């Protein structure tokens, strides 16, 4: 198994960002988006499991508590849910960019 380093984690975050753009915000693709989100959380856990000491994990947990939970609400129309998914994806990309720039040097 290869060693996990900030450089390989940074590369994976960049790949996840690109994948999010390719996948789009359709409701039918949301499971794949969720998988990428939880993969990113798992990667951030390489730097500690405590939110207080792991700022990278704190970023993702904050996103989970705010934007991700909104995607679980009940919507009358799929277009409404897709708007929420789109907002989540945009915030997810911002968190990934912040992680790449500030935490994985």
Q: How far apart are CA 40 and CA 35, in angstroms?
A: 9
- Find which of 2-6, 34-38, 73-77 is predicted with most confidence, using mean pLDDT: 34-38
Helices (H) and strands (E) in the chain, counts: 5, 0
Across residues 56-67, what is the average pLDDT? Answer: 95
Concatenate the DSSP letters of all residues of 44-62 into one string. Answer: HGGG-S-TTT-HHHHHHHH
pLDDT of residue 20: 96
pLDDT of residue 1: 42
Token pair 């919507």 is at which residue?
Answer: 75
Burial class (CB in 10 A: 0-12, 13-18, 19+), 43: buried
CA dihedral 57, 90, 10, 6 (to 10 degrees): -10
Contact of 90 with 67, CB cutoff 8 Å: no
Could you read off the pLDDT of 11-45 as tens digits, one per residue? 999 999 999 999 999 999 999 999 999 999 999 99
- Give the pLDDT band of residue 67 (cuts 50, 70, 90): very high
pLDDT of residue 4: 65
Contact of 99 with 13, CB cutoff 8 Å: yes
- Give the pLDDT band of residue 3 (cuts 50, 70, 90): low
Residue 48's φ and ψ, nearest 5 degrees, are 125, 150
């Amino acid at each position: 198994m290869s060693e996990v380093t900030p450089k390989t984690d940074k590369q994976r975050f960049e790949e996840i960002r690109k994948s999010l753009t390719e996948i789009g915000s359709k409701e039918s693709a949301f499971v794949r988006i969720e998988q990428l989100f939880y993969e990113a959380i798992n990667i951030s856990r390489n730097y500690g499991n405590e939110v207080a000491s792991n700022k990278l994990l704190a970023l993702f947990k904050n996103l989970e508590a705010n934007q991700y939970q909104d995607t679980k609400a009940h919507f009358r129309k799929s277009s409404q849910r897709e708007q929420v998914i789109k907002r989540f994806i945009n915030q997810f990309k911002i968190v990934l960019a912040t992680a790449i720039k500030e935490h994985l040097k």
